[in-house]
Each structure stands twice: as C-alpha cells, then as structure tokens.
C-alpha cells in the first residue's frame, strides 16, 4: 500500500466522519427544537389555565424538552419530521376552530 492509497483512505475516513457528525448534529438540533416548542406550548397552556409563574414555565419547558429528547432518541429524522408535520396540522386545525367558534 503506497502513500497515495493511505492518503485516499485517510481522506475518505475524514469525509465519512464529517458526514456522520453533521447528521448527528442535525438530529440533535431537530430534537431540541421540537422539544422546545412542545415544552413552550405545554408551559404556556398550563400558565394560562392555572396561573403559573415564570419559574414554573421554564421548569415545564425543561422537563418536556428532556422527555422529548429521551423519547425521540430512537426515532429517525424522517419520523421526527412527520411528527412535527402532524403537530403543525393539529395546531392549524385548532386555530381554525378558534377563529370560527363564536
């Protein structure tokens, strides 16, 4: 095995490592964003219903985000994106209901 082959293998390993790192970062970012929005949604709903303070709102966001990170750790990016799409569609349905309701 010559120097050229070793350099080719080394460059291929670097490229594969960069690709896997980027995909891992994207997966973690998607889980964090989804967890933040779900936590903020549940925290704001609880704050309006019960009248929680800001500390409890932040606590609720952190707890829901941690649960989402743990549950979604086994899910793929496609499954998380489909879940996000379903959440957006349900939110649009609720918005339409609120706007139409007397």
Q: Which residues contact 23 (CB under 8 A, 6 or more apart)?
A: 77
Q: Which two tokens stand for residue 56?
A: 């409890």
H or E segment to which residue 26 belongs: helix 3-50
Residuewise pLDDT in 10s, the chain (102 residues): 677 778 888 788 888 888 889 999 999 999 999 999 999 999 998 888 888 888 889 999 999 999 999 999 999 999 999 999 999 999 999 999 999 987
Rg (CA), the chain: 21
Residues in the chain: 102
CB 29 within 8 A of CB 69: no
């Amino acid at each position: 095995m010559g120097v050229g082959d070793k350099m080719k293998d080394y460059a291929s390993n670097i490229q594969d490592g960069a690709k896997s790192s980027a995909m891992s970062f994207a997966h973690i970012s998607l889980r964090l964003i989804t967890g933040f929005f779900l936590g903020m949604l549940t925290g704001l709903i609880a704050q309006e219903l019960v009248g929680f303070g800001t500390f409890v709102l932040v606590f609720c966001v952190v707890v829901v985000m941690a649960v989402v990170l743990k549950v979604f750790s086994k899910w793929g990016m496609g499954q998380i994106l489909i879940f996000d799409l379903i959440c957006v569609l349900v939110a649009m349905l609720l918005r339409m209901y609120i706007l139409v309701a007397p």
